[in-house]
Amino acid sequence: MVAVSPSPAYAIATPVPLGTADSFAVLAGESVTNTGPTVITGDLGVSPGTAISGFPPGLVNGVQHSADAVALQAKSDLVVAYNNAAGQATDAALPPDAGGLTLVPGVYTASSTLGLTGTLTLDAEGDPNAVWVFQVGSGLTTASASRVNLINGAQPCNVFWQIGSSATLGTDSTFIGNILALTSISATTGATIEGRALARNGSVTLDNNRITRSTCSGGTTSGTTTGTTTGTTTGTTTGTTTGTTGGVLGGVLGGVLTGGTTGGTPGGSTTTGTTTGNTVGNTSGNIAGNTTGGGKGGVTGGHSGGHTGGGKGGGTGGHSGGHDGGYGDGRPGDHGPGHGEEHGGYGDKPEGAGHHEG
């Protein structure tokens, strides 16, 4: 096995922008022809030609585009991608046959034809974003059972083959990368491609092949997004809701219960029943006042019962007259019996229109 590394002053290869051609597994300028049960995962298209044949028996797990606007745009983007790959500065020259080589990321050039016999290994050296660009001046031909092998994090989506004429893949060969051929691409019986077969001007010819459109993995982004969203949402919602309900609501309603029934005795805890407090406080105040006095007396009684204990108990019972209350500032039991016997009942305002003689 021979390892080839770029020269020390090499330029880093950059991903070739495919544009709308990215969704295609097979794209041709003239025609696409298939024989046998080929399976294509990704879109299939042709433009400006119109001929697509052999599907079925071939299967396309994607959309077929024959000389429509989508295929036209994809072909235009393929031209841009081809020129990008051809224009990147080279790092190292390749021998006539790349079989047996192990290549680190970079831009590699074959001045004329390039063969592949045996195995070509691409070593990412632990970098999942590593890129390889192969510039082949003329034709690419792979032997039967030849293969491209990826190691140490290399991804098929980051391998690009710019071919100056046509590419032919041998029987039962395993090829990896995006083929951008100026003329045509032919995959013989049983050949597989993990990448794309994109022919600018000629045809793509298939025979019982497997072509799978490659995509780069996105593990880092998914992990970060999920962790942040789950943690923030759960923590904020649970803490705020529980604290508000248990502390504020429980304390206020507890005060209503104790004030309404006992005339301001310190109370108002979260353990006192909410329903019982409202029912007893409001019912005792209203019934006692209305039943005993009637008329003006009824108003006085209602005020006495309601304002005992302060807070919402006072507001519920009435607004005129009572005699046994506290100062009622919304805090349960702040001014209990110590002030209720000396003052005529100060509701929500300490002095003013709320005070009446019985």
DSSP 116-152: E-SEEEEE-TT-TT--EEEEESS-EEE-TT-EEEEET
Q: Determine the pLDDT at residue 285.
A: 34
Rounded CA separation 108/97 (Å) = 13
User: pLDDT by residue (tens digit) across 199-217?
Assistant: 999 999 999 999 999 998 8
Q: Determine the pLDDT at residue 12.
A: 85
Q: Determine the pLDDT at residue 217.
A: 81
Q: Please answer whether residues 104 and 128 qualify as being in contact, where contact means their C-beta atoms are separated by less than 8 angstroms.
A: no
Identify the residue whose tokens are 């072909």: 75
Identify the residue whose tokens are 């990215």: 22
pLDDT below 50 — which residues of the chain? 1, 7-9, 219-358
User: pLDDT by residue (tens digit) across 229-270?
Assistant: 333 333 333 333 333 333 333 333 333 333 333 333 333 333
Could you tell me the CA-to-CA distances from 122 to 152, 205, 337 in Å, in that order? 9, 27, 89
Rounded CA separation 46/63 (Å) = 12
Q: Determine the pLDDT at residue 58.
A: 98
User: pTM for this one?
Assistant: 0.61
Q: Determine the pLDDT at residue 311.
A: 36
- If one counts every other C-beta atom within 10 angstroms of the C-beta of residue 352, the result is 9
Q: What is the CA radius of gyration of the chain?
A: 42
Q: Determine the pLDDT at residue 4.
A: 58
Token pair recorded at residue 192? 């597989």
Rounded CA separation 184/271 (Å) = 83
3-state secondary structure of 177: strand
